[in-house]
Amino acid sequence: MFLALAGCHAVTTQADYPDDLYSPNYVLRTQAVLEFADRRDESQLPDAFDLLLDREGQIRALAWTTIRSLTPGERDFGYRPYLGEDVRFGIVVRWRAWWIANRGDGAQEPGGGSAVAAAERAGG
């Protein structure tokens, strides 16, 4: 019996950060968002804005918490992970406008070729 068990290997899933922010796999996306939070990686903020539109509420909540911790002030533009997609989309537009004006170039439209769009195309 020991020999049979010794041949079994645990299957592990490890995120390939930051690429897995785009993954259709929910587990990999979650791990990538957690790594984004741990690293406090401001270079990924434009993709994190798209994660506010993610199909999974946990990913939206993690992204929102991290974005708020990486941006100055008490800004949240009224975002809540449980809001409807159309409301969240409008808030993501406001986040992007703020980012463009204050910090970076995040010029993509929400869902326009980044994390959420890639996950949607892959059926994730």
Q: Give the pLDDT band of residue 107 (cuts 50, 70, 90).
A: very low
Contacts of 50 by beta carbon, 8 Å cutoff, 6+ apart: 92, 108, 110, 111, 114, 115, 116, 117
d(CA 116, CA 31): 15
**Is the peptide bond between 81 and the residue preceding it cis, with omega within 30 degrees of 0?**
no
pLDDT digits (tens, 9 = 90+) for 41-91: 888 888 889 999 999 999 999 999 999 988 877 778 999 999 999 999 999
Mean pLDDT, the chain, rounded, equals 78
Q: What is the pTM of this model?
A: 0.71
d(CA 18, CA 20): 6
| pLDDT of 123 above 70 | no
Q: Give the pLDDT band of residue 115 (cuts 50, 70, 90).
A: very low
d(CA 102, CA 75): 13
